[in-house]
Amino acid sequence: MAALPWDRSPGLREQLADFYRDLHEHPELSLQEFRTAERVAAAIGPLGFEVTTGVGGTGVVGVLRNGEGPVVLLRADFDALPVEEKTGLPYASSVRAQDHSGVEVPVMHACGHDMHAACLVGAATLLANSTEEWAGTVVAVFQPAEELACGARNMVADGLFERFPRPDIVLAQHVGPLPAGMIGYRGGPVMSGMDAVQVTLHGRGGHGSRPEAAIDTVLMAANVVTRLQGIVAREVPPADTAVVTVGRLQAGTKDNIIPDTAELGITIRTYDEKVRDLVRAAIERIARAEAAASGAEREPEFDWNLSAPILVNDPAATDTTVAAFTEHFGVQRLLPMPQVNASEDAGVFGASAGVPSVYWFWGGIDFANLDLSEVVEGGGIDKVPANHSPEFAPEIEPTLSTGVEAMVVAARTWLGRTT
């Protein structure tokens, strides 16, 4: 593979850094990424991409045709999270917005999606400036609403593979708390499947001084939370992996009022469809049983409102891509990864198109600027600010250049060659 044409794009690194800082300072929640989509479309349009906006809501698709050859889909997400930023950076977000339920929340790019978008813009630029060295079609997909696990499905439902060239392979990446410049990889199952359910428990409200006249949903909810912890410990086979987390428990408005409802927000992570079905069924069984044990006169309600499939890397395609990474970056910058219990909807694209997917991680943390003694004494790597933390923000370099180059190297591995 020829050297990457950074020299044909003078000042590109600085432009991408400015682009990244702009996105970071102006984050937008899932399904609200209007300004971000405009910035992305304006960045890749002049490069020769055929740009379509509003795909699946706020998604952007850019198509660069360069003769006969394979079609390679490059994907980046660009939505932010309801997190209040605490990085102290000069370009930190102070944005507040209304979420999908109408509640005002702080907004931050706490998962690195701004870096993903900037890197794909950079990769698109380098590919557009080296068309004499490859043949085929690049489809750059900037996906909304990854954090709601619906953005990829929305784009597919909006005709992604009918309106635009159907890919032969899907390539995607994610920045995380690895050392900046490192690339993490894994073949086979990479990230867990995710399901989220909102459970509403029904009881009978009353005065806090007369619990005998009420059916206490707070106690009911507490028992459900405790009992749920037995699913993984006592129902999932030890050789399998699952996580059940109650991230939200809301009930009541005042300390002397027994509320008539309680709500639980539960997320599960699994790597196997049978285990997934087992855990889902167990959650509903436990909630119903605790409601019955409490004398509830109405069964719980279950809203399974979010779902992301297991993200699986095609083993052969991963081996080919990692070999190209090794040749370009050197073996010392490649890191085998364990399975990750977080979830992603990037796998929807490859699964829906029936083509291989390759998904990798790359590092954004400058460990040289961290007090490693504090990291070790304070609890190890888990104390390093990571994705979804209010203190997470990748070092711009070498993170940005590494992400751009990884995407270009991967794309060029699968595109046709002219030289």
d(CA 76, CA 346): 9
Task: Report the length, in residues, of the chain.
Answer: 419
Residue 202 is assigned to a ligand binding site = no
Contact 362, 178 (CB under 8 A): yes
| SS (HEC) of 295-323 | CCCCCCEEEEEEEECCEEECHHHHHHHHH
Which residue, among 273, 264, 271, 184, has the nearest Cα to 229 in the 3D structure?
A: 264
| 132, burial (CB in 10 Å: exposed 0-12, middle 13-18, buried 19+) | exposed
CA angle (223, 225, 226) in 5-degree steps: 65
Residue 100 is assigned to a ligand binding site = no
φ, ψ of residue 33 to 5 degrees: the values are -85, 50
d(CA 174, CA 343): 11
DSSP structure string for 180-197: TT-EEE-SEEEE-EEEEE
Residue 328 is assigned to a ligand binding site = no
Residue 174 is assigned to a ligand binding site = yes
Place of tokens 């927000």: 265
DSSP-assigned letter for residue 204: B
d(CA 266, CA 286): 13
Q: Give the tokens for residue 170.
A: 């899907």
| 415, burial (CB in 10 Å: exposed 0-12, middle 13-18, buried 19+) | buried
CA angle (231, 232, 235) in 5-degree steps: 60
At 250, is the secondary structure helix, strand, or coil?
strand
Residue 33 is assigned to a ligand binding site = no
Place of tokens 């304006």: 42
Task: Measure CA of the first residue to CA of the last residue in the chain; give whole Å.
Answer: 9
Which residues participate in the annotated binding site for Mn(2+)? 111, 113, 147, 174, 388
Annotated binding site: 111, 113, 147, 174, 388
